[in-house]
A and B are shown apart, each in its own frame.
Chain A
Amino acid sequence: ETGVTQSPTHLIKTRGQQVTLRCSSQSGHNTVSWYQQALGQGPQFIFQYYREEENGRGNFPPRFSGLQFPNYSSELNVNALELDDSALYLCASSWLALSDTQYFGPGTRLTVL
Protein backbone atom coordinates (compact mmCIF):
# COMPACT_ATOMS: atom_id res chain seq x y z
CA GLU A 1 0.00 0.00 0.00
CA THR A 2 1.60 3.26 -1.17
CA GLY A 3 -0.09 5.72 1.17
CA VAL A 4 -0.10 8.60 -1.33
CA THR A 5 -3.49 10.30 -1.43
CA GLN A 6 -4.93 12.97 -3.71
CA SER A 7 -8.00 15.15 -3.71
CA PRO A 8 -10.39 15.68 -5.28
CA THR A 9 -10.94 12.53 -7.33
CA HIS A 10 -12.70 14.31 -10.17
CA LEU A 11 -13.12 17.95 -11.08
CA ILE A 12 -14.94 19.80 -13.84
CA LYS A 13 -13.97 23.39 -14.67
CA THR A 14 -14.57 25.81 -17.50
CA ARG A 15 -11.95 27.45 -19.66
CA GLY A 16 -10.27 30.40 -17.97
CA GLN A 17 -10.93 29.23 -14.41
CA GLN A 18 -8.32 28.30 -11.83
CA VAL A 19 -7.92 24.97 -10.04
CA THR A 20 -6.03 23.64 -7.01
CA LEU A 21 -5.22 19.96 -6.64
CA ARG A 22 -3.87 18.42 -3.44
CA CYS A 23 -1.51 15.58 -2.59
CA SER A 24 -0.45 13.97 0.67
CA SER A 25 2.82 12.11 0.39
CA GLN A 26 3.62 8.73 1.85
CA SER A 27 4.83 8.82 5.44
CA GLY A 28 8.56 9.47 5.58
CA HIS A 29 8.79 10.87 2.04
CA ASN A 30 10.05 14.42 1.61
CA THR A 31 9.83 14.82 -2.16
CA VAL A 32 6.72 15.24 -4.29
CA SER A 33 6.58 15.18 -8.07
CA TRP A 34 3.58 16.12 -10.20
CA TYR A 35 2.73 14.60 -13.56
CA GLN A 36 0.11 15.22 -16.22
CA GLN A 37 -1.24 12.15 -18.00
CA ALA A 38 -3.32 12.84 -21.09
CA LEU A 39 -5.58 10.07 -22.34
CA GLY A 40 -3.61 7.28 -23.95
CA GLN A 41 -0.21 8.74 -23.05
CA GLY A 42 2.47 8.29 -20.46
CA PRO A 43 2.77 10.67 -17.51
CA GLN A 44 4.62 13.91 -18.28
CA PHE A 45 6.70 15.58 -15.57
CA ILE A 46 5.40 18.98 -14.44
CA PHE A 47 7.65 19.79 -11.47
CA GLN A 48 9.12 18.42 -8.28
CA TYR A 49 9.22 19.85 -4.76
CA TYR A 50 11.87 19.03 -2.18
CA ARG A 51 11.85 20.63 1.26
CA GLU A 52 9.29 23.22 0.15
CA GLU A 53 11.37 24.40 -2.83
CA GLU A 54 10.80 23.70 -6.51
CA ASN A 55 13.57 21.31 -7.47
CA GLY A 56 13.02 21.03 -11.19
CA ARG A 57 10.43 21.75 -13.85
CA GLY A 58 9.26 20.12 -17.05
CA ASN A 59 8.05 21.82 -20.20
CA PHE A 60 4.96 23.44 -18.69
CA PRO A 61 4.05 27.17 -18.72
CA PRO A 62 4.20 29.37 -15.59
CA ARG A 63 0.43 29.13 -15.12
CA PHE A 64 1.23 25.72 -13.62
CA SER A 65 2.55 26.40 -10.14
CA GLY A 66 2.88 24.51 -6.90
CA LEU A 67 3.59 24.53 -3.22
CA GLN A 68 4.96 22.09 -0.71
CA PHE A 69 4.13 22.44 2.97
CA PRO A 70 6.25 21.62 6.06
CA ASN A 71 4.42 18.27 6.42
CA TYR A 72 5.52 17.52 2.80
CA SER A 73 2.00 17.63 1.39
CA SER A 74 1.72 19.56 -1.86
CA GLU A 75 -0.59 21.56 -4.08
CA LEU A 76 -0.70 21.99 -7.84
CA ASN A 77 -2.33 25.18 -9.07
CA VAL A 78 -3.32 25.81 -12.66
CA ASN A 79 -4.47 29.26 -13.74
CA ALA A 80 -6.33 30.30 -16.90
CA LEU A 81 -7.41 26.74 -17.68
CA GLU A 82 -7.35 25.62 -21.30
CA LEU A 83 -9.19 22.74 -22.93
CA ASP A 84 -5.87 20.87 -23.36
CA ASP A 85 -5.38 20.88 -19.59
CA SER A 86 -7.98 18.11 -19.38
CA ALA A 87 -6.03 15.13 -18.07
CA LEU A 88 -5.29 12.90 -15.10
CA TYR A 89 -2.97 14.70 -12.68
CA LEU A 90 -0.77 12.38 -10.67
CA CYS A 91 1.47 13.12 -7.76
CA ALA A 92 4.25 10.80 -6.68
CA SER A 93 6.27 10.85 -3.49
CA SER A 94 9.77 9.61 -2.79
CA TRP A 95 12.49 9.76 -0.15
CA LEU A 96 15.06 11.68 -2.08
CA ALA A 97 18.11 10.77 -0.07
CA LEU A 98 17.61 7.03 -0.12
CA SER A 99 15.86 6.12 -3.31
CA ASP A 100 14.59 7.40 -6.61
CA THR A 101 11.60 5.10 -6.32
CA GLN A 102 8.43 7.11 -6.75
CA TYR A 103 5.03 5.96 -5.53
CA PHE A 104 1.97 7.39 -7.22
CA GLY A 105 -1.30 8.60 -5.81
CA PRO A 106 -4.63 7.70 -7.44
CA GLY A 107 -4.78 10.92 -9.41
CA THR A 108 -7.26 13.72 -10.00
CA ARG A 109 -9.22 13.61 -13.24
CA LEU A 110 -9.62 17.21 -14.46
CA THR A 111 -12.08 18.02 -17.23
CA VAL A 112 -12.03 21.51 -18.74
CA LEU A 113 -15.13 22.48 -20.72
Chain B
Amino acid sequence: GENVEQHPSTLSVQEGDSAVIKCTYSDSASNYFPWYKQELGKRPQLIIDIRSNVGEKKDQRIAVTLNKTAKHFSLHITETQPEDSAVYFCAATTGMEYGNKLVFGAGTILRVKS
Protein backbone atom coordinates (compact mmCIF):
# COMPACT_ATOMS: atom_id res chain seq x y z
CA GLY B 1 0.00 0.00 0.00
CA GLU B 2 0.85 3.66 -0.11
CA ASN B 3 3.56 4.88 2.24
CA VAL B 4 4.42 8.52 2.93
CA GLU B 5 7.66 9.46 4.65
CA GLN B 6 8.16 12.93 6.09
CA HIS B 7 11.34 14.71 7.18
CA PRO B 8 12.48 16.22 9.44
CA SER B 9 10.46 15.17 12.47
CA THR B 10 11.30 18.44 14.23
CA LEU B 11 12.48 21.74 12.82
CA SER B 12 13.50 24.87 14.73
CA VAL B 13 14.02 28.12 12.88
CA GLN B 14 14.54 31.73 13.81
CA GLU B 15 11.69 34.12 13.12
CA GLY B 16 12.03 35.48 9.60
CA ASP B 17 13.95 32.46 8.29
CA SER B 18 12.58 29.90 5.83
CA ALA B 19 11.43 26.39 6.67
CA VAL B 20 11.33 23.41 4.34
CA ILE B 21 9.60 20.10 5.02
CA LYS B 22 10.00 17.17 2.62
CA CYS B 23 7.86 14.13 1.89
CA THR B 24 8.23 11.10 -0.34
CA TYR B 25 5.45 8.78 -1.47
CA SER B 26 5.41 5.27 -2.88
CA ASP B 27 2.24 5.02 -5.03
CA SER B 28 3.02 6.33 -8.50
CA ALA B 29 -0.75 6.71 -9.10
CA SER B 30 -1.08 9.32 -6.33
CA ASN B 31 -2.44 12.51 -7.84
CA TYR B 32 -3.28 14.85 -4.97
CA PHE B 33 -0.96 16.10 -2.23
CA PRO B 34 -2.35 18.28 0.57
CA TRP B 35 -0.54 19.81 3.51
CA TYR B 36 -2.24 20.24 6.86
CA LYS B 37 -1.29 22.37 9.87
CA GLN B 38 -2.37 21.14 13.29
CA GLU B 39 -2.05 23.30 16.36
CA LEU B 40 -2.12 21.69 19.78
CA GLY B 41 -5.56 20.30 20.57
CA LYS B 42 -7.07 21.49 17.29
CA ARG B 43 -8.20 19.95 14.01
CA PRO B 44 -5.85 19.57 11.05
CA GLN B 45 -6.35 22.58 8.76
CA LEU B 46 -5.63 22.46 5.06
CA ILE B 47 -3.04 25.11 4.24
CA ILE B 48 -2.13 24.29 0.65
CA ASP B 49 -2.48 21.44 -1.82
CA ILE B 50 -1.13 20.48 -5.22
CA ARG B 51 -2.28 18.14 -7.97
CA SER B 52 -0.08 15.93 -10.07
CA ASN B 53 -0.46 18.05 -13.21
CA VAL B 54 1.22 21.02 -11.51
CA GLY B 55 4.85 21.36 -10.43
CA GLU B 56 4.58 24.26 -8.02
CA LYS B 57 1.93 26.28 -6.23
CA LYS B 58 2.25 29.38 -4.06
CA ASP B 59 -0.05 31.11 -1.60
CA GLN B 60 1.55 34.15 0.00
CA ARG B 61 4.36 32.85 2.27
CA ILE B 62 3.63 29.19 1.58
CA ALA B 63 4.63 27.17 -1.46
CA VAL B 64 4.57 23.52 -2.40
CA THR B 65 6.68 21.82 -5.05
CA LEU B 66 6.11 18.40 -6.59
CA ASN B 67 8.57 16.14 -8.38
CA LYS B 68 6.54 13.24 -9.82
CA THR B 69 9.55 11.46 -11.24
CA ALA B 70 11.28 11.30 -7.89
CA LYS B 71 7.95 10.92 -6.04
CA HIS B 72 8.61 13.67 -3.57
CA PHE B 73 7.00 16.95 -2.64
CA SER B 74 8.00 19.76 -0.30
CA LEU B 75 6.45 22.55 1.74
CA HIS B 76 8.26 25.87 1.83
CA ILE B 77 7.40 28.57 4.36
CA THR B 78 9.17 31.91 3.97
CA GLU B 79 9.49 34.73 6.50
CA THR B 80 8.38 32.46 9.32
CA GLN B 81 6.44 33.91 12.20
CA PRO B 82 5.80 32.57 15.74
CA GLU B 83 2.22 31.72 14.76
CA ASP B 84 3.60 29.28 12.18
CA SER B 85 4.65 27.04 15.10
CA ALA B 86 2.59 23.85 14.83
CA VAL B 87 2.72 20.27 13.56
CA TYR B 88 2.65 19.99 9.78
CA PHE B 89 1.45 16.86 7.98
CA CYS B 90 1.87 15.97 4.36
CA ALA B 91 -0.45 13.48 2.71
CA ALA B 92 -0.92 11.70 -0.59
CA THR B 93 -4.00 10.14 -2.09
CA THR B 94 -4.31 6.53 -3.07
CA GLY B 95 -7.29 5.23 -4.96
CA MET B 96 -10.25 3.18 -3.78
CA GLU B 97 -13.32 2.00 -5.72
CA TYR B 98 -14.92 5.44 -5.43
CA GLY B 99 -12.67 8.35 -4.66
CA ASN B 100 -9.45 8.43 -2.74
CA LYS B 101 -8.17 8.03 0.76
CA LEU B 102 -5.43 10.14 2.28
CA VAL B 103 -2.23 8.57 3.60
CA PHE B 104 -0.41 10.88 6.00
CA GLY B 105 3.20 11.35 6.92
CA ALA B 106 4.22 11.18 10.57
CA GLY B 107 4.36 14.95 10.94
CA THR B 108 6.93 17.69 11.48
CA ILE B 109 6.98 19.81 14.62
CA LEU B 110 7.92 23.32 13.53
CA ARG B 111 9.13 25.75 16.19
CA VAL B 112 9.68 29.37 15.23
CA LYS B 113 11.83 31.17 17.77
CA SER B 114 11.33 34.90 18.21
- Asked if chains A and B come from one complex, the reply is yes
What is the interface of chain A, defined by CB distance below 8 A to chain B?
A: 2, 4, 31, 33, 35, 40-45, 48, 50, 55-56, 58, 90, 92, 94, 96, 100-107
What is the interface of chain B, defined by CB distance below 8 A to chain A?
A: 6, 32, 34, 36, 42-46, 49, 89, 91, 93, 96-107
Complex contact A55–B99 (CB within 8 A): yes
Complex contact B98–A42 (CB within 8 A): no
Given contacts A4-B43, A106-B42, 20 further A-B contacts (CB under 8 A): A2-B43, A33-B101, A41-B106, A42-B91, A42-B104, A43-B102, A48-B99, A50-B98, A55-B99, A56-B96, A56-B98, A92-B102, A100-B99, A102-B34, A102-B46, A104-B36, A104-B43, A104-B45, A106-B43, A107-B43
A to B contact number (C-beta, < 8 Å)? 65
Complex contact A90–B43 (CB within 8 A): yes
Complex contact B93–A45 (CB within 8 A): no
Complex contact A105–B43 (CB within 8 A): yes
Q: Out of B34, B43, B101, which one reaches A101, CB within 8 Å?
A: B34
Complex contact B99–A50 (CB within 8 A): yes
Complex contact A44–B43 (CB within 8 A): no
Q: Which residues of A contact B43 (CB under 8 A)?
A: 2, 4, 90, 104-107
Instruction: Report A30 CB to chain B, min CB distance, Å.
Output: 10
Q: Which residues of A contact B49 (CB under 8 A)?
A: 101
In the bound assembly, the distance between CA atoms of A31 and B101 in angstroms comes to 11
Also in contact, A43 and B101, with CB within 8 A (given A103-B46, A104-B43): no
Instruction: Report B114 CB to chain A, min CB distance, Å.
Output: 25
Complex contact A41–B101 (CB within 8 A): no
Instruction: Report A48 CB to chain B, min CB distance, Å.
Output: 6
Q: Which residues of B contact A50 (CB under 8 A)?
A: 98-99
